[in-house]
């Protein structure tokens, strides 16, 4: 499956060209979720999503707990879907950001690359759920 996904060579999204699945690879700092800016809270970790396209693996931090899981992506059509994701279960002073990040991941069905290189996850209807910038 990964070989088939890697074979998708180019597409044009509304914000910019994504030439291959490799454009998604790496760590992405979460800058906005559910329409609200995400700012680092003293004493908490930076919220980010990591995408390992070679292994089709998701990892990251929700601002409190670590996150792991898998994903499938179709670059040609701008589609992405996350399988069952797991996380650690620590309690933190601000659990609101974590809840919004997990909800956004569960609802994500597509992606787009905006001008300036921001990665945007969108729901089934195309509504932006989460915006990120490369770390």
What band does 33 get if pLDDT is binned at 50, 70 and 90?
very high
CA-wise closest residue to 112 among 23, 52, 7: 23
What band does 39 get if pLDDT is binned at 50, 70 and 90?
confident
Q: Each residue of 66-100: pLDDT tens digit?
A: 999 999 999 989 999 999 888 898 888 778 899 99
What band does 3 get if pLDDT is binned at 50, 70 and 90?
very low
- pTM across the whole model: 0.83
């Amino acid at each position: 499956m990964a070989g088939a996904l890697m074979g998708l060579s180019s597409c044009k999204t509304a914000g910019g060209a994504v030439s291959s699945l490799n454009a998604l690879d790496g760590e992405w700092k979460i800058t906005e979720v559910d329409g609200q800016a995400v700012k680092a809270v003293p004493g908490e970790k930076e919220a980010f999503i990591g995408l390992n396209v070679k292994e089709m693996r998701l990892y990251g931090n929700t601002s409190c707990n670590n996150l792991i899981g898998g994903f499938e992506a179709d670059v040609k059509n701008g589609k992405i879907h996350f399988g069952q994701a797991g996380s650690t279960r620590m309690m933190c002073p601000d659990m609101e950001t974590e809840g919004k990040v997990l909800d956004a991941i569960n609802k994500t069905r597509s992606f787009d690359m905006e001008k300036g290189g921001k990665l945007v996850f969108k729901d089934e209807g195309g509504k932006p759920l989460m915006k990120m910038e490369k770390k």
